[in-house]
Chain A
Amino acid sequence: MIEIYRYRDLVLALVARELKVRYRRSAIGFTWTMLQPLLMMLVLQVVFSSLFRFQLANYPVYAMAGILFWNFFSQSIVSSMNSLRGNAQLLKKVPVPKAVFPISTVASGVINLIFALVPLLLILVITGHPLTPALLFLPVAILLAALFTLGAGLLLSPLSMFFNDIVEMITVLLSVLMYLTPIFYPKEIVPEKMRWIVRFNPLRSILEVFRDPIYYGKVPPWSHLTVSCLIVLVALAVGAYAFRKSSDRIPFYI
């Protein structure tokens, strides 16, 4: 960990490079970050207001907060898995702590998430959703989401070096996880029998910490925050431990 701190300037440079590539290559790269969740939200709005009937006021805000969170989580997981593969040649020749790659991937994901908050705020204003001081809690919520994602990324990214079909498998598992998490539906519609799945889904806790201040205009209760912090700590500890254990083997699989 101390070693990573020594390489902090490298992490910053890698983040800058990733963002530059993302926003330079396509002329509307920047707009796309903001547009994609908006379009997704419109689709959901059409589908769910006409096909299913939820008892949710102002559904667009609810859905969009969920989409932003999910995009950040799933994209960060997939790109941190690719980050090791993409820098494989380097890992074979330069004694650099390998964790800098997943770390900088998640960090640039956070920056994308912050950009994407702009259209969300726009929707809040347009739909007349109350803007409350609870929104000031968002940085803490984003930090928790980032640390949780980093834990998952550290756990999964070495696998991508050992098997080259693992990224596809994880993509499938991610889409299952998306339906098991109340991203675009309210958790109340889940049948009583299956509610434990949603209840014990750690991602749901982290999602609610992020969505509560936006949608309900309240800071999550202490009990919920404590549980979420514990989940984040466990995720980080498991991820860091697994990464440490496997990182010595990584150069042998290039």
Chain B
Amino acid sequence: MPELSIQLQGVSLCYRLAKQRIPSFKEYAIHFLRGSLSYEQLWALRDIDLKVAKGETLGIVGRNGAGKSTLLKVISRVLKPTQGSTAIRGNLAPILELGSGFDYELTGLENVYLNALLLGHSRRDIETRVEDIIDFSGLGDFIRAPLRNYSSGMQARLGFAVATAWVPDILILDEVLAVGDATFTAKCEERLRRFHDAGSTVILVSHSPKAVLDNCSRCLWLDDGRLRADGESAKVLDLYLRQHGTDPGEHEAGKLRTPP
């Protein structure tokens, strides 16, 4: 049995949505006294069992709202599951969304520090890597400009450069490779391979079958919060694409067959 890096057991996560939004304490008290507090439960993840060995590269596919991002948030300890247990070993480098943790008024360089500090690195640690980070991001003189002037591609480059400046035990990427240009995507994939060789676990959410196929040996298919398939990337993607084809015509046909 290889060393486990991530283990989820019976993980379910429920977003409790108030039927009427109750944002204030005053309204909450009124509704509470009337006994009219009601919630709608939205189960974003249902009973997920998952074991990921150290050094595995795992892709996650699924339609919008299938629970992919929620699963990544559970793995990166941002959200605590409603039920079930999680065991995550090692340090994380999560990139859950473009520009998470960026301050748009600060310059790129100041954001490098802020972002790396948020990831739990010490100032001295950052100083030794800052040159590499700027170099990898390829932003050149833009690094001294405020972040609000950056395009989304530039933000992605900077975010990726900071998060991957240290070899993590677990790297988590949510749909970030898609926004960069081809050269940068190639650079990112090269870095992913290097991490893989160094023994990091990589988890990648993507809507691009090619990105999953190129970077991941194993793939999960999430559907409505449940694990629909788990296995070799080529096989799972084949199943997935057969149901939700990339071809629009096929997609329509698939939709028609599903009862409303």
- Please give the residue numbers on chain A whose beta carbons come within 8 Å of chain B beta carbons, in ascending order: 6-10, 12-13, 89-96, 163-166, 169, 248, 251-252
Contact = CB atoms under 8 A, between A and B. Distances in A.
Interface of B: 15-16, 23-26, 28, 73, 76-80, 92, 94, 96-97, 100-101, 113-114, 117-123
25 contacts: A7-B117, A10-B118, A10-B120, A13-B113, A13-B114, A89-B100, A90-B100, A90-B101, A93-B78, A94-B78, A94-B100, A94-B101, A94-B119, A95-B76, A95-B78, A95-B94, A96-B120, A163-B25, A163-B28, A164-B24, A165-B23, A169-B25, A251-B78, A251-B79, A252-B16
A165 B28 CA distance: 11
B79 A166 contact: no
Contacts of A91: 78
A165 B121 CA distance: 36
Nearest to A8: B122
B25 A165 contact: yes
Given A94-B78, A252-B16, A165 B26 contact: yes
Contacts of A92: 78
Nearest to B174: A93
B188 to A, nearest CB: 19
B15 A9 contact: no
A90 B97 CA distance: 10
Contacts of B94: 94-95
Contact of B118 (A12, A89, A90, A251): A90
Contacts of B113: 13
B10 to A, nearest CB: 18
Contact of A9 (B28, B78, B123): B123
A9 B117 contact: yes
Nearest to B100: A93
A66 B45 CA distance: 53
B214 to A, nearest CB: 26
Contacts of B26: 165
Contact of B24 (A95, A165, A252): A165
Given A252-B16, A252-B79, A94 B118 contact: yes
A90 B232 CA distance: 34
